[in-house]
Amino acid sequence: MPKISRLFIKSGIIYFFLGMILAFVAELPFVNTGALLLPVYWHMIVVGWITQIIMGVSIWMFPRIGKDRKKTETIPAHLAFWLLNSGLILRFSVEPFLLLFTTNQAVLLVVLVSAILHISAIISYLIEIWPRVRTRPVIARRSE
C-alpha cells in the first residue's frame, strides 16, 4: 500500500473515531449544543471518514497509467490529502462558533479559505484518479 493511501486511510480512521466521540458527547444530558455540532459530525463521518477511505483505497487499487509497477506517488494525490485535511481542520475549528463571530473578519476568512481548500482537494483528486478510471488501453488489447 503506497504511503499516500496509508495517510488517507489512517486519517479517515481518526476522523471516524472523532466523529463517534462527538456524537457521543452531543448526547450527554448536560451538553446542550443543539444543532451546532451536527454539520461537524456529519462532515467528519462522510468526508473525513468515508470519502477519505474511498480516496485512499482508489489511489492504491485503481489501474495505473502505463507500467507503473513502482506505484509512483503523484503530486495531485498528495495535494488532495493535504488540501482536504487542512480544509477540514479549518472548518471544524470555526464552524460551530460562527454564530458567535458573525462580524469577525478573520473567522469569516478562515471559512472562505476552508471552502476553497475543499474544492481544490477534490479537483486534485479528480486529476489523479480520472485518467485511471478506464478500460484496458488499446495497445494492450491489440497485443492479446
Partner 1 sequence: MMPLQSVFLIRLSLLWLLLSTLAGAILLVHKAYGIHPSTWLLLPLHFEMAIWGWMVQLVIGTAYWMFPRFLRSDIRGPELPAWILVILFNSGLVMILSGHLFTSIPGLIFSGRFFLLTGIGIFIYLIWARVISYRNV
Q: Which residues bind partner 1 (CB under 8 A)?
A: 46, 50-51, 54, 63, 91, 95, 98, 107-108, 111-112, 114-116, 118-119, 122-123, 126, 129-130, 133-136
31 or 133: CB nearest partner 1: 133
Residue 47 Cβ vs partner 1, minimum distance, rounded to whole Å: 8
Residue 68 Cβ vs partner 1, minimum distance, rounded to whole Å: 16
Using an 8 Å Cβ cutoff, are 98 and 107 in contact?
Answer: yes
Residue 33 Cβ vs partner 1, minimum distance, rounded to whole Å: 16
How far apart (Å, rounded) are the C-alpha atoms in residues 33 and 2?
Answer: 40
24 or 115: CB nearest partner 1: 115
Task: Give the count of alpha carbons within 13 A of 63, CB side only.
Answer: 10
Give the total residue count for the chain.
Answer: 144
10 or 134: CB nearest partner 1: 134
Residue 48 Cβ vs partner 1, minimum distance, rounded to whole Å: 13
1 or 115: CB nearest partner 1: 115
Which stretch of DSSP H or E encloses residue 142? helix 138-142
Using an 8 Å Cβ cutoff, are 44 and 18 in contact?
Answer: yes
Identify the CA nearest to 18 among candidates 45, 53, 55, 56: 45
